Copies of this chain bind each other. A is one copy, B any other.
Amino acid sequence: MLAIDPVVLFFVLGVAAGLARAELRLPAAIYDFVSAILLLSIGLKGGMQLATQPVGNLLGDVALVLLLGVLLPLVAFPVLRFAGRLPRADAASLAAHYGSVSVGTFAVAISYATRQGIPYEEYMPLFVVLLEVPAILVGILLARGVSRTTRWGPLAHELFLGKSIVLLLGGLAIGWAAGPAGLEPIAPLFFDLFKGVLALFLLEMGLIASAQLAGALRHGLFLVAFGLVAPLAFSVVGIGFGVLMGLSPGGVMLLAVLAASASYIAAPAAMRTAVPEANPAISLTASLAITFPFNILVGIPLYHRLTELLLNG
């Protein structure tokens, strides 16, 4: 078996085409379509399993996951502010991006787990939803304190009504209500096509990431280093939390991936609204052009190993 997951090769193709400035554009409408299907698929799959789960068991996990989301940006911020000498706003914004999560990375990790035959708690998509928002809130507070001028209305809107939350939560709810039997008629689209759609999504992400790559070095070596080291460090924190929660090895690995991943959709949108003085290019370049490729090309198998090592060690 090829070491690398074939879907990841589509990402490589996208990056290569982008760097070569090939005449390959996938219009934004296709991005919207493909990402909506992915988000719904992930939500539906998670929701389907949630139904079989006693809610009581999950409450502790939910609390821990929220704590993880608060902790990660608090760890990242001082490093960025003092070691990286970034302006307060930029440090806070980066902290928010890295504390939050990337659903695309999670999708690749799921594909990896399936491919390797690694079982995991199927309700993990719930954690994706839970991890998306807290870090962004912490980032905003880090940037501006509990300022009176922050307009929380539009912000809450941005945070809780963004595309990924709505489609993931919507999918979870529908999956939960319908159950496996109820979802069967829509399985051909949402489950059978999942990996193919993920391949198209990664092709598109490759094109998009390549456009950011040019800027990566312009922002200095520190940013590049941070984009590579932060996910590693965070994955270990994720493993720790996974163990605390008593997850299966597969679940621990996926939580490590979530901790290691950086947001490139929800966080940019929210920080643009709440902390406009932060330079959006810095955070996006780091999360999209450095951390995302690192995670899907190298990180996921690495966190898998790390999980095995730490669980058995």
Interface set of A (CB-CB < 8 Å, partner B): 1-2, 6-7, 9-10, 13, 16-17, 20-30, 32-33, 36-37, 111, 114-115, 157-158, 161-163, 166-167, 170, 173-174, 177-179, 181-183, 185-190, 192-193, 195-197, 199-200, 269
Q: How far is the CA of A2 from the CA of B179 in the complex (A)?
A: 8
Q: Cβ of A16: which chain B residues have Cβ within 8 Å of it?
A: 170
CB < 8 Å: which of B27, B199, B200, B269 contacts A29? B27
Q: How far is the CB of A137 from chain B (nearest CB, A)?
A: 17
- For the complex with contacts A6-B183, A23-B157, A26-B33, 18 further pairs of A-B residues with Cβ separation under 8 Å are A2-B179, A6-B178, A7-B185, A13-B170, A13-B174, A16-B170, A17-B166, A21-B157, A23-B158, A23-B162, A23-B166, A24-B163, A28-B29, A111-B185, A114-B185, A185-B196, A188-B188, A193-B193
- Are B36 and A26 in contact (CB-based, < 8 A)? yes
Across the two chains, which residue of chain B brings its CB closest to A43?
A: B13
B22 and A166 contacting across the interface, CB-CB below 8 Å: yes
User: Which residues of chain B are within 8 angstroms of A27 by Cβ–Cβ distance?
Assistant: 28-29, 32-33
